[in-house]
Chain A
Amino acid sequence: MSEGPRAGAPGAFLGGAAPRRRAPEQLNRTGWGKGIALLLALVFGVIYAIPNLYPPDYALQLSPREEAEQPLAEAFAVARTALAEAGLESFGATLEDRAALLRFRSNDAQLRAQEVVKEALVRGGFGDNFIVALNLASTTPAWLEDLGAQRMNFGLDLSGGVHFLLEVDMERAVADRLRAFEDEVRTLFRTERLRYLRPVVTEQSARRITIRFRDEADRDEARRLLADRVLEFTVTAELIEDAPALQLTLRPEVVKDIEDYAIDQNLVSLRNRVNELGVSEPLVQRLGRNRIVLDLPGIQDSTRAKDIIGKVANLEFRLVAQPDAPRSDVETYDYEFRAVDLERALIVSGDRVSNAQAGFDPETSMPQVNITLDGRGGQRMNEATRGNIGRSMAILFKETRTRTRYVEIDGETVVRQIPYETQRLISVATIQAALGNRFRITGISQREASDLALLLRAGALAAPMYIVEERTVGASLGEDNIRAGMLSVAVGFGLVLLFMLVYYRLFGLAANVALAVNLVLLTAVMSLLGATLTLPGIAGIVLTVGMAVDANVLIFSRIREELGSRSPQQAIHSGFDRAFVTIFDANLTTFLVAIVLYAIGSGPVKGFAVTLAIGIVTSMFTAIVLTRALINALYGGRRVARLAI
């Protein structure tokens, strides 16, 4: 920055010697090299901007899941028949190996078609084997796509869709890990027949588990047993309530790992769930320590989306406790008007599920979920059931919801999202034989069955999440925004063109050409960078149009001024030269602000910052280099008596 004025020294940049030493005929010529570079820039701009002239089609994409056995072509035929019957017109159908595509005239038709196709596939016996996703199909000619030219992405405020900001409950993730470890320790001590004093105390806030023993020998034995399992903890020997005790404190770096894992796992699950919802180009991204941004373009029904994304549902398979089991090892649940004691230790939980399909029991036609466990899960299930034939096993359905409460903190009312868990036994059955890796679960409603199957397939969330921000833009508003944005660009652009032409005549014309090229280049660079166009982004373009001419205005004012004391050629030459420092300065300040906006701003503001920053760079190029070349072409290298300025 300190170099501002020096680096911007015109002599260095524009490569001109002092004007007075050259004859007017030699001034203001554009070299071949520069001319070719300009031409290349122009060709580049046009090629990469053109795809934006091809609006995409609303489309439906049909693709098979990994495990789908039925051929895509059959499902596709069923889908097309159903659409024809529903009177929904589609066009441009394509069928490839892994995906089939249908195009529609409107967003509305596309949304209705998704429902129709989904239903037809289930009725046709294809179940959940195919994903029916909303899509925007490119209409850009193939040769442009081969060059990597693509249209700009539209932000949700233009395309319509739902935006969520989700907060992951990190405390819960850590607490769950502590609880799981506590269970592991109990199980270990029980199998090793090591006696310890109850209760085992777990302090969530201190991230610490305290286990007390009868004597020091037991404690040392426990320490030996735990040695290779407590790497995540700092272990200290203490004397608590006159009993020798071990305190296991979770290491801070492990806490961070747990948090990272929780976020990563939630991201994976969210991506899967979003795919299940049928959104083809979602944005799922971590934001800061504990947040996730989720953008679902094209989705109109945010209620359904919310049902699926935020849901923390899991299954636990547990043995019903023996009547003589110690109270601290059991948990009691209600099941069909009676209390059932379950062992706290679980056999298998939902994350061992490799596939889950909703369906109906062929005999009773009650809804059910067919579950396949993965190898390890199947093995554990087999081990647990083999030796316990005759005992009962229960399936626990757990769901975390959040409720909003007002809490008084220091006299201020603060809103808190308080997660709470609902747990429900959905089945208790006698183990008839050693079980393997295939099951079915009955006793739930049809909606629950399909949601449960979806959630189990998609994977559990490692920690509950709640929505801290939600923005839904309807398709009609999105279209209005595009129209309004384009109209403002067009009107603003037109007014500026007109003004410049009237005020600066031939020079104004050159500035106008530069301004038009600037728009093309701006579009091209944004498309190439994969930037997302938002409504504030369009506002940024409009503002760029208004401010981009400033560089030319500075130059032209200077030329007019220089005309008082110099010949036209010299005036042009020194006008460009002298205005440069000022132009550079003026643009740099706006650029700095754009950087601040980008760094600190969120969502729409970022979109504005991006267009503003790119616009500054492209406008400096066109206003200085291109205008110069145009003026040179008009006046350069000859004797000129008057300038049309």
Chain B
Amino acid sequence: MADPSPASRRRSGESAPQVFWETKLAVDFMRWRQLTLILSTLLIIASLALLGLRGLNFGLDFTGGTLVEVHFPEAADPQAVRLGLEAQGYGDLVVQSFGAARDVLVRVPPDVVGETATVGDVILQALRADYGDGVVLRRSEFVGPAVGEELREQGGLAMLAALSLVMVYIMFRFTGKFALSAVIALVHDVIITLGAFSLFRWSFDLPSLAAVLAVIGYSLNDTIVVADRIRENFRALRRAEPVAVINQAISQSFGRTLVTSLTTLLVLIALLLFGGSMIEGFAEALVVGVLVGTYSSIYVAANALLLMGVEQKDLLVPEKEGQDQDALL
């Protein structure tokens, strides 16, 4: 199938790809594999350390508690607002500017609970007592401690379910070393994405969780496209060195990897810039996930394959699939 020699392209004389990353010259990506192996290991260790020591900055969805976002008629100083509320007997609150200077967010810790989930109303009334009726409620959220805990459990469960489901899929789709390396790449991406959340203290809420799960899907996309190519090349080039085969596969899919990541990043940047604060965590998680996912599809999965000593014979095991594939080509 794919003909790696540039001569064939000259021969055909058709419209040729105009850009260097779509040439069929295999770039020696694996030259940096030791370096990236160290980089990935360091990133994972750092992420795990961050997650272990500092943990995630869980949002209201997962901690439980009360949150009130209000819009003041004119710019309000969060510090003054907090002192005002404290003077009325509501201590232990976090008050911060939110987006614009006239928007203020008040967070009440979960252990301050009103008679019947009305802390938000009480805070709003207290603010209106101080600043007049011009204080407009933007949103108010109350999540009971039990619900917060459940959501956290559900979230972990969702992550495990997503990971195991795609793992089952990979088992069918690929075999042995390929499946394992794809899973390693996935876990790598999820850990580093979560690590970024811990590092930057981004609030981790339900949309962020959804985004991390989407990262699992996205990263697997990339890995599968590359792995498909590696497999294809192993079959086509009967006597090639694994490193050369992988280099070629990555080079062939590199253009696509780059373009898809770029278009996805373009829309995510639009979302980050214009989507508003409620969707920030979602966009952040995906930006990190897409960047890490792109990197891991090139280096992590391939690296894992090479470390496990992938060979031609790894692909000859499923006879039926091999025949099928040949029929395709």
Contact = CB atoms under 8 A, between A and B. Distances in A.
A binds B: yes
Interface of A: 1-2, 4-6, 9-11, 157, 165, 300, 302-303, 306, 310, 401-404, 406, 413-415, 417, 466-474, 476-477, 480-481, 484-485, 487-489, 491-493, 495-496, 499-500, 503, 535-536, 538-539, 542-543, 545-547, 549-550, 553-554, 557, 560-561, 563-568, 571, 578, 581-582, 585-597, 599-605, 608-609, 612, 642-645
A91 to B, nearest CB: 26
B12 A553 contact: no
B276 A563 contact: no
Nearest to B226: A582
B146 A468 contact: yes
Contacts, number: 305
A477 B69 contact: yes
Contact of A492 (B143, B252, B270, B328): B270
A110 B161 CA distance: 45
Contacts of A539: 207, 271, 275, 279, 282-283
A310 B162 contact: no
B9 interface: yes
B286 A543 contact: yes
A11 B168 CA distance: 26
A554 B228 CA distance: 12
A600 B158 contact: yes
Interface residues of B, number: 91
B137 interface: yes
Contacts of B151: 602
Interface residues of A, dominant DSSP: helix
Contacts of B141: 470-472
B145 interface: yes
B96 interface: no
B16 A543 contact: no
Contacts of B278: 157, 481, 535
Interface of B: 2-3, 8-9, 12, 14-17, 22, 24, 69, 71, 110-111, 113-118, 120-121, 136-147, 151, 154, 157-158, 161-162, 165-166, 168-169, 172-173, 206-207, 209-210, 213-214, 216-218, 220-221, 224-225, 228, 252-253, 255-256, 259-260, 262-271, 273-276, 278-279, 282-283, 286, 321, 324-325, 327-328
A157 B275 CA distance: 13
Contact of A550 (B111, B138, B221): B221
A5 B282 contact: no
A449 B165 CA distance: 57
A539 B295 CA distance: 24
A589 B275 contact: no
Contact of B158 (A404, A546, A601): A601
Given A10-B328, A563-B12, A608-B210, A476 B71 contact: yes
B158 A597 contact: yes
A549 B263 CA distance: 8
Nearest to B328: A9
Contacts of A578: 328
Contacts of B216: 593
Q: Which 8 A-B pairs have the closest CB atoms?
A: A492-B267, A546-B267, A593-B217, A590-B217, A492-B270, A484-B276, A468-B144, A546-B264
A467 B113 contact: no
A542 B267 contact: yes
29 contacts: A302-B121, A302-B140, A306-B116, A306-B117, A403-B116, A468-B146, A468-B147, A469-B144, A474-B137, A488-B267, A488-B273, A492-B270, A496-B263, A536-B279, A539-B271, A543-B267, A550-B221, A554-B225, A564-B3, A564-B12, A585-B228, A586-B220, A586-B225, A587-B221, A589-B220, A596-B161, A596-B213, A597-B214, A643-B14
